[in-house]
Amino acid sequence: MALLEIRDLRVFYGALEAIHGLDLDIEEKSITAILGSNGAGKTTIINAISGMLHRIGNIVFGGRLLSVKPDRVVRRGIVQVPEGRQVFPGLTVEENLRLGAFTVRGKHKMQSLMEEQFNVFPRLKERRNQDAGTLSGGEQQMLAIARGLMAKPKLLMLDEPSLGLAPLIVNDVFNIIENIHAQGITVLLVEQNAKKSLSVCQNAYVIENGKIILSGTGRELLDNKQIAHAYLGASRTLGEP
């Protein structure tokens, strides 16, 4: 069952059409990956879902049309974790987390949510009173994801969560993504790391110049030589060593 349905999505930057009549479905309680090179339109799609860009077309979430106003999108249960982490560097870890819970009412509920995040991200608990700007890149990414989870999302959209991180930290981030999915949260993953993304997702779309050029299950695209050539410059499949 599709939690989010996008039909004939068009997004413009001035007179330039960046997304060209795109159709896309995100199944409930799944990980869906959107792959593509820089400038393909991946971030534009999730920014349009979030209401941060003017869009044409229909987006239906949970059987109802989705608002174009960002605050209403969040209140419906859609949260975006932006590219580049974008934590508030002068605020502590705990203060950053509290900002993620602006839709949550009640001090007790907010504290309970914070403790949930500290259980999932013990390193953040150790640094709860530390300024976010002093954290490592991997710790900042964990904080950005935890801040998104503070809003209790039904759909969590992650924009390039592995960007700029060391390989070992990338593995940690993808383990976190799988743990989030195991909690029953639907995940939309925008990534350039094709192999990692296709290894964890159930469904995937490949975007090029604002259009979907390929879609399928993660396993199908792992075995697709076209994708292997585009992302690895090789004729072998992504699933091969």
Residue 97 domain flag? yes
Question: Distance between CA 42 and CA 10 in Å, rounded?
Answer: 13
Maximum Cα interatomic distance, the chain, rounded to a whole number of Å: 55
The answer on 158 and 125 residing in a single domain is no
CA distances to 41, 66, 99 from 5, in Å: 18, 10, 29
Nearest to 137 by CA among 186, 82, 87, 184: 87
Could you tell me if residue 172 is inside a domain?
A: no
Q: Is residue 173 part of a domain?
A: no
Domain assignment present for 126: yes
Average pLDDT over residues 57-74: 96
Phi, psi at 76, each rounded to 5°: -75, -15
Whether the pTM exceeds 0.75: the reply is: yes
Instruction: Please check whether residue 175 lies inside any domain of the structure.
Output: no
Share of residues in the chain with pLDDT > 70 (%): 95
| Residue 178 resides in a domain | no
pLDDT digits 0-9 by tens, 79-135: 999 998 899 999 999 999 999 998 887 778 889 999 999 999 999 999 999 999 999
Verify that 119 and 220 share a domain, yes or no: no
Pair (162, 223) in one structural domain: yes
Residue that terminates a domain, selected from 127, 152, 177: 152
Are residues 234 and 161 both part of a single domain? Answer: yes
- Residues 98, 200 within the same domain: no
Residues 56 and 162 in one domain: yes
**69 and 15 within one domain:** yes
Q: Is 132 inside any structural domain?
A: yes
Q: Are residues 72 and 15 in the same domain?
A: yes
Q: Are residues 162 and 194 in the same domain?
A: yes
Same structural domain, 205 and 106: no
pLDDT (0 to 100) of residue 103:
81
With cut-offs at 50, 70 and 90, classify the pLDDT of residue 53.
Answer: very high
Write out the residue range of the structural domain in which residue 19 sits.
Answer: 1-77+154-166+185-241
Give the burial class of 163: count Cβ atoms within 10 A of its Cβ; 0-12 exposed, 13-18 middle, 19 or more buried.
middle
Contact 97, 119 (CB under 8 A): no
142 and 158 co-located in one domain: no
Give me the number of domains the chain comprises.
Answer: 2
Domain containing residue 226: CATH number: 3.40.50.300
In a domain, 57, yes or no: yes
What Å distances lie between residue 175 and 27, 49, 100, 180, 210, CA to CA? Answer: 20, 25, 22, 9, 29
Q: Which of 103, 128, 152 is the last residue of a domain?
A: 152
Query: In the prediction, which pLDDT does 29 show?
Result: 97
Mean pLDDT value across residues 29-54: 95
What pLDDT digit, counting tens, does each position of 149-176 carry? 999 999 999 999 999 999 999 999 999 9
| 72 and 94 co-located in one domain | no
